[in-house]
Amino acid sequence: MKTIRALIVDDSSVMRKIVEKSLRQAGLSLSEVFEAGNGAEGLNVLKDKTVDLILSDINMPAMDGLEFVKQLQLIDSAKNIPVVMITTEASESHVTQALSHGAKGYIRKPFTADQVRDHIMPLLGS
Protein backbone atom coordinates (compact mmCIF):
# COMPACT_ATOMS: atom_id res chain seq x y z
CA MET A 1 0.00 0.00 0.00
CA LYS A 2 1.27 3.47 -0.82
CA THR A 3 2.10 5.91 1.93
CA ILE A 4 -0.03 9.03 2.20
CA ARG A 5 0.04 12.46 3.87
CA ALA A 6 -3.17 13.53 5.60
CA LEU A 7 -4.57 16.79 6.95
CA ILE A 8 -7.05 16.49 9.83
CA VAL A 9 -9.18 19.57 10.55
CA ASP A 10 -11.18 19.55 13.79
CA ASP A 11 -11.48 22.01 16.68
CA SER A 12 -11.06 19.13 19.14
CA SER A 13 -7.47 17.93 19.57
CA VAL A 14 -8.82 14.71 21.09
CA MET A 15 -10.91 14.10 17.98
CA ARG A 16 -7.92 14.81 15.71
CA LYS A 17 -5.98 12.10 17.54
CA ILE A 18 -8.92 9.67 17.29
CA VAL A 19 -9.25 10.30 13.55
CA GLU A 20 -5.52 9.69 13.07
CA LYS A 21 -5.75 6.48 15.13
CA SER A 22 -8.73 5.35 13.04
CA LEU A 23 -6.86 6.00 9.79
CA ARG A 24 -4.02 3.77 11.00
CA GLN A 25 -6.47 1.10 12.25
CA ALA A 26 -8.16 1.26 8.85
CA GLY A 27 -4.87 0.14 7.32
CA LEU A 28 -3.61 3.41 5.88
CA SER A 29 0.11 3.98 5.92
CA LEU A 30 0.62 7.60 6.95
CA SER A 31 3.94 9.26 6.29
CA GLU A 32 2.85 12.63 7.67
CA VAL A 33 -0.22 13.90 9.50
CA PHE A 34 -0.92 17.63 9.71
CA GLU A 35 -3.49 19.08 12.09
CA ALA A 36 -5.61 22.23 12.03
CA GLY A 37 -8.19 23.56 14.51
CA ASN A 38 -10.51 25.11 11.92
CA GLY A 39 -10.88 25.73 8.19
CA ALA A 40 -8.74 28.86 8.15
CA GLU A 41 -5.88 27.02 9.86
CA GLY A 42 -6.36 24.18 7.37
CA LEU A 43 -5.93 26.59 4.44
CA ASN A 44 -2.76 27.91 6.09
CA VAL A 45 -1.32 24.40 6.37
CA LEU A 46 -1.93 23.86 2.66
CA LYS A 47 0.08 26.96 1.75
CA ASP A 48 3.32 25.08 2.28
CA LYS A 49 2.36 21.43 2.75
CA THR A 50 1.19 18.90 0.20
CA VAL A 51 -1.35 16.30 1.29
CA ASP A 52 -3.14 13.38 -0.35
CA LEU A 53 -6.25 13.36 1.84
CA ILE A 54 -8.19 15.82 4.00
CA LEU A 55 -10.60 14.89 6.79
CA SER A 56 -12.64 17.76 8.17
CA ASP A 57 -15.23 18.41 10.83
CA ILE A 58 -18.11 20.77 9.97
CA ASN A 59 -18.95 22.67 13.19
CA MET A 60 -15.83 24.69 13.96
CA PRO A 61 -15.14 28.27 15.03
CA ALA A 62 -13.59 30.89 12.70
CA MET A 63 -14.17 28.92 9.48
CA ASP A 64 -16.46 25.90 9.42
CA GLY A 65 -15.95 22.78 7.36
CA LEU A 66 -18.42 23.69 4.62
CA GLU A 67 -16.69 27.04 3.97
CA PHE A 68 -13.32 25.30 4.13
CA VAL A 69 -14.32 22.85 1.37
CA LYS A 70 -15.70 25.73 -0.68
CA GLN A 71 -12.44 27.68 -0.33
CA LEU A 72 -10.40 24.63 -1.34
CA GLN A 73 -12.12 24.60 -4.72
CA LEU A 74 -10.64 28.04 -5.43
CA ILE A 75 -7.07 26.82 -4.92
CA ASP A 76 -5.61 25.09 -7.98
CA SER A 77 -3.13 23.02 -5.96
CA ALA A 78 -5.80 21.86 -3.49
CA LYS A 79 -9.04 21.46 -5.40
CA ASN A 80 -8.35 17.87 -6.41
CA ILE A 81 -7.42 16.62 -2.95
CA PRO A 82 -10.18 14.26 -1.74
CA VAL A 83 -12.00 15.70 1.27
CA VAL A 84 -14.06 13.56 3.63
CA MET A 85 -16.26 15.24 6.21
CA ILE A 86 -16.28 13.62 9.67
CA THR A 87 -19.02 15.18 11.76
CA THR A 88 -21.96 14.75 14.10
CA GLU A 89 -24.04 16.85 11.70
CA ALA A 90 -25.30 14.21 9.32
CA SER A 91 -28.58 15.71 8.23
CA GLU A 92 -29.46 15.39 4.56
CA SER A 93 -29.00 19.13 4.03
CA HIS A 94 -25.49 19.07 5.51
CA VAL A 95 -24.49 16.07 3.39
CA THR A 96 -25.91 17.67 0.26
CA GLN A 97 -24.15 20.97 0.97
CA ALA A 98 -20.82 19.31 1.70
CA LEU A 99 -20.94 17.20 -1.45
CA SER A 100 -22.03 20.14 -3.60
CA HIS A 101 -19.11 22.19 -2.24
CA GLY A 102 -16.68 19.48 -3.33
CA ALA A 103 -16.41 16.95 -0.49
CA LYS A 104 -16.00 13.39 -1.72
CA GLY A 105 -17.34 11.57 1.31
CA TYR A 106 -19.15 11.86 4.59
CA ILE A 107 -18.62 9.94 7.83
CA ARG A 108 -20.90 10.44 10.80
CA LYS A 109 -19.53 10.52 14.36
CA PRO A 110 -19.49 8.10 16.13
CA PHE A 111 -17.65 5.93 13.64
CA THR A 112 -15.61 2.73 13.45
CA ALA A 113 -12.28 2.16 11.75
CA ASP A 114 -14.13 -0.10 9.28
CA GLN A 115 -16.39 2.78 8.25
CA VAL A 116 -13.35 5.01 7.81
CA ARG A 117 -11.71 2.37 5.61
CA ASP A 118 -14.86 1.85 3.52
CA HIS A 119 -15.21 5.56 2.82
CA ILE A 120 -11.57 6.43 2.26
CA MET A 121 -9.95 3.52 0.43
CA PRO A 122 -11.98 4.02 -2.78
CA LEU A 123 -10.93 7.68 -2.85
CA LEU A 124 -7.27 6.70 -2.72
CA GLY A 125 -7.63 4.13 -5.46
CA SER A 126 -7.04 1.26 -3.01
Partner 1 sequence: MTTLTQTPVRSGNYAKEDWAALVQIAVEEVFEMMVGGKASMLPEADMGKKDFSAMVGIAGAMCGVLTVAAPAQSARSIAAGMLGSESVDNTSVMDALGEITNMVAGNFKSKILALADGCMLSVPTVVAGADYEMHSLADGYRTQLLFAFREHKFSVTLQLSA
Q: How far is the CB of 126 from partner 1 (least distance, A)?
A: 23
- Give the one residue of 2, 21, 24, 49 binding partner 1; rule: CB under 8 A: 21
**In the complex, least distance from residue 113 CB atom to partner 1, rounded to whole angstroms:** 9
| Nearer of residues 20 and 121 to partner 1, judged by Cβ | 20
- The residue among 46 and 66 lying less far from partner 1, judged by its C-beta, is 66
> Can residue 61 be called a binding residue for partner 1 (CB under 8 A)?
yes
**Is residue 79 within 8 Å of residue 72, measured between CB atoms?**
yes
99 vs 111, beta carbon nearer partner 1: 111
Q: Please give the helix or strand (H or E) that residue 67 lies within, else none.
A: helix 65-72
Q: Is 108 in the site for partner 1 (CB under 8 A)?
A: yes
Q: Is residue 69 within 8 Å of 83, Cβ to Cβ?
A: yes
Q: Does residue 26 touch partner 1 according to CB under 8 A? A: no
The burial class, CB within 10 Å (0-12 / 13-18 / 19+), for 115 is middle
> Does residue 13 interact with partner 1 by CB under 8 A?
yes
Distances in whole angstroms, Cα of residue 31 to Cα of each of 20, 23, 34, 74, 108: 12, 12, 10, 27, 25
Which amino acid type is present at position 118?
A: D
Q: Does 67 bind partner 1 (CB under 8 A)?
A: no
